[in-house]
Chain A
Amino acid sequence: MIFGYLDPGSGSLLLQAVIGGATGLAVAVKALRHRYRFGRAMKAADPNNGEAAETVEDTALPAES
């Protein structure tokens, strides 16, 4: 990964997919689902991390947005 000097803001990056109509929304959902699965796998691998579930939930877009 090549780093830019500017912090683009994670929410602002995801929003760009959301703005792009149906296609973009599908990309956003897919990106978040990927993150969700990744988070669950991390939690499974680390049984001591009791807070992981809450952290993972937070990454999902709120339905009313």
Chain B
Amino acid sequence: MQSPDPGSFRDPASRIVLNEGRVLRVLDERGLEGWRALSASDFFASAVADRRLIDTSEVSEPPPTGAGALEHPRLPFISYPYEWTFSMLKDAALLQLDLLKDALAAGLTIKDATPYNIQFVYGRPMFIDIGSFEAYRVGEPWIGYRQFTRQFLFPLMLRAWLDVPFQPWLRGDMEGPTPIQMARLLGSKKRLNAGALLHVRLQARMEARMSGRPVRDDLRSAGFSVELILANVKRLRSLVTSLEWAGRKDGWSDYGSCTHVSRDRDAKSEFLQSAIQRSRPRRVLDLGANDGHFSMIAADSGAHVVAVDSDEAVLDDLYRRSAGMGVSIALTDLANPSPAQGWAGTERSSIVDRAQPDFVIAYGLIHHLIYQASIPPREVLNWLRGFGAPVVVEFVSPSDEMVARLVGNKLPHELHPDRDETAFRTLASELFEVVDESSLSSGTRVLFALLPR
């Protein structure tokens, strides 16, 4: 059964189709021409060999709808730029620029510049949209430049220069800030910075002046050359490299230093290892992954792990440590996780639909949902049951020191009922079978291994 990927339709030359677990890319005549140019180049072989480009092979019998078809390996998890940390978007931006530079040297170009063409595989960015490559036509400017600034450069500037997270913007407007919007956001900041002047202020000004007037033919006849693109790419590379996020240590970034954490960590690790040995999962979802300690344990067992947290600083640190590991990172607030959105509401799927776990870790999580996000305990357990997979969960009693901090100024009658251990056991046993449990030394926390009924 063949089904077009709902997120791959913008380029008529190349569309992804899923066919009984296989990932096929169906090409029209123009797409096939691009593939022929790419596959004949040394650039292609070397970029695939160093894992900057996805493995690709030609399918001998293309589907009747296309002129040709390619096959790619299926990736364990697809993440979106609004779920990436600063360092992930920065590494993706550098990959995009380096591939463009190398492609131009081989007589090719990349016709767009969107982070949706890049995925993180074993902790490293990989370009997956083979259909983006085509032969470079003499005199053509870089068509993806504006898109690069909106979807890579401006979001990075937001964090590095204004310390504003880019993810809410990219989740709300997947095209990214326009040059005019970015100029307004910068205000008088970075007045003397050449990158801000050229890519933000001058681009905004020229966009306002030139909107909708075709200039490609004019540029070609005026002698536009590939050297001009290469000069721009070089400038952009040094600008992107210079962007750094100080990564302020707020929220849970110092979680590992909390006393209850170091005290209970070994016991939680052992409990998790036993549960993993019983279930032997392939796809683990670590909800509230924090520094990734438990994600790494699950990955060591051979499973692929999606580590989810809402703290960008800890996930950014985990990303830097995850090269070569089967851990994918997704920054999202579990009280408001990435939804299905885009064209027809299906272009980008929800994080829950993408994860499809066969094992769920929910350590150090549910008290945040109950006390911070005010989600009723019954709702939290129903939601965990919805994954249809074994769950290890850490129950935290109302008398726990961390709960006291989370409750803050809320009065007891302002909180949801069913917060104590007895209520938790009752609710859990309605939905799950309790196969293991262990009280932690703190005396206020209990681990449960649950199997869905």
Contact = CB atoms under 8 A, between A and B. Distances in A.
A13 B211 CA distance: 11
Contacts of A61: 206, 209
A52 interface: no
Interface in A15-44: 15-21, 23-24, 26-28, 30-32, 34-35
**Most chain B Cβ neighbours within 10 Å, of A6, A11, A23, A24:** A11
B394 interface: no
Given A14-B210, A16-B229, A31 B218 contact: yes
Contact of A23 (B146, B218, B228, B235): B228
| Interface of B: prevailing SS | helix
**Which of B112, B141, B222 has the most A CB atoms < 10 Å from its CB?**
B222
A24 B226 CA distance: 11
A15 B329 CA distance: 36
A10 B205 CA distance: 11
Nearest to B236: A19
Contact of B206 (A5, A6, A12, A31): A12
A15 B235 contact: no
Given A11-B210, A13-B145, A27-B222, A1 B202 contact: no
Contacts of B145: 8, 12-13, 15-16
Contacts of A5: 10-13, 112
Residues of B in contact with A, size category = 35 or more
Contacts of A11: 179, 203, 205-211
Contact of B141 (A2, A6, A16, A32): A16
Given A12-B203, A62-B209, A19 B235 contact: yes
A21 B231 contact: yes
B228 A16 contact: yes
A24 B228 contact: yes
A9 to B, nearest CB: 4
A65 interface: yes
A15 to B, nearest CB: 5
Interface string B380-424: 000000000000000000000000000000000000000000000
Interface of B: 10-13, 30, 111-112, 137, 141-147, 149, 179, 198, 202-203, 205-219, 221-225, 227-229, 231-232, 235
12 contacts: A5-B112, A10-B207, A10-B211, A12-B146, A13-B141, A18-B206, A19-B231, A19-B235, A20-B231, A27-B228, A30-B222, A59-B213
Given A20-B232, A31-B219, 5 more contacts: A10-B215, A12-B203, A17-B224, A27-B228, A35-B213
